[in-house]
Amino acid sequence: MSIGNYTTTEIMTIAASRLLKNGAVCFVGIGLPSAAANLARLTHAPDIVLIYESGPIGAKPDVLPLSIGDGNLAERADTVVSTPEIFRYWLQGGRVDVGFLGAAQIDRFANINTTVIGDYKKPTTRLPGAGGAPEIASCAKEVVLVLKQSARAFVKKLDFLTSVGHLDGGDARKKLGLPGKGPVAVVTDLCLMEPDSVTRELTVTQLHPGVSREQVQKATGWEIRFASSVQQTAVPAEDELSVLRDLLHRTAIAHGQAPAA
What pLDDT does residue 256 have?
84
**pLDDT tens per residue across span 140-153:** 999 999 999 999 99
pLDDT digits (tens, 9 = 90+) for 215-254: 999 999 999 999 999 999 999 999 999 999 999 999 999 9
The per-residue pLDDT for 3 is 63
| Tens-digit pLDDT profile for residues 108-142 | 999 999 999 999 999 999 998 999 999 999 999 99
Question: Any alpha helices (H) in the chain, and if so which ranges?
Answer: 8-17, 32-42, 72-75, 83-85, 133-139, 172-176, 213-218, 238-254
Nearest-angstrom CA–CA distance, 151 and 125: 17
CB 12 within 8 A of CB 148: yes
Catalytic residue among 10, 53, 142, 240: 53
- Tell me what the mean pLDDT of segment 58-69 comes to: 93
Percentage of residues in the chain with pLDDT exceeding 90? Answer: 91
Q: How far apart are CA 149 and CA 186, in angstroms?
A: 10
Q: What angle do CA 66, 67, 70 make, to 5 degrees?
A: 80
pTM: 0.94
Q: Is 194 a catalytic residue?
A: no
d(CA 83, CA 150): 34
Q: What is the CATH number of domain 8-254?
A: 3.40.1080.10
Q: How far apart are CA 74 and CA 55, in angstroms?
A: 8
Distance CA 226, CA 180 (A): 25
Rounded to 10 degrees, what is the CA torsion of 70, 71, 77, 83? Answer: 70
- Other CB atoms within a 10 A radius of the CB of residue 48 amount to 24
